[in-house]
Amino acid sequence: MRPRQIGITAASIGAVPASRAVQLLWELRNANMQSTSDQAFTKVFTGTNWAAASIQSKLVSGTVTVLTAGGIYTAASKAGNALVSAAQLWTTIPLLATLALPTQQTSGQLYLSLTVGSLSASVADLFVFGYVLD
């Protein structure tokens, strides 16, 4: 199964120098799609200021049920800026999510925080791609 990419253009997030390439910024491997606890992404870039351009997801195992919903945030407990809103349904992975992105982030952490977990066991990998701005 091929990951589905969702995203926005560089022009829509502000002034991104043309010399900067989209790169992997954050990853969350083996996300438990049943859990409503915060699940921390791992930062894989060097820098402080960044802007997300797209998210790719891949179902590793199981099936995500119809009402599974939640967002991706820059702070625990659905705090900070929402990259993906709490209303996002995760029923099909690869996912076509709506990104709700501010122009720039300086967060040192990202969290997947589901409001409603899947009724069946399922595991997914999530990847945030974007621009390092410093």
Q: Is there a domain that residue 91 lies in?
A: yes
Is residue 65 in some structural domain?
A: yes
pTM of the predicted structure, to 2 decimals:
0.81
Strands 4-7 and 50-62: antiparallel
> How many structural domains comprise the chain?
1
Distance between CA atoms of 5 and 67, rounded to whole angstroms?
A: 21
Residue 95 lies in a domain: yes
pLDDT, the chain, mean: 82
Instruction: Examine residue 67 and state whether it is found in any structural domain, yes or no.
Output: yes
Residue 50 structural domain: 4-8+22-132
Whether residue 97 has pLDDT greater than 70: no
Residue 17 falls within a domain, yes or no?
no
Determine the 3-state secondary structure of 94 from DSSP.
Answer: coil
**Mean pLDDT value across residues 76-89:** 88
58 located within any domain: yes
Does any domain span residue 16?
A: no
Residue 13 covered by a domain: no
Q: What is the mean pLDDT of residues 39-43?
A: 97
CA 57 to chain centre: 8
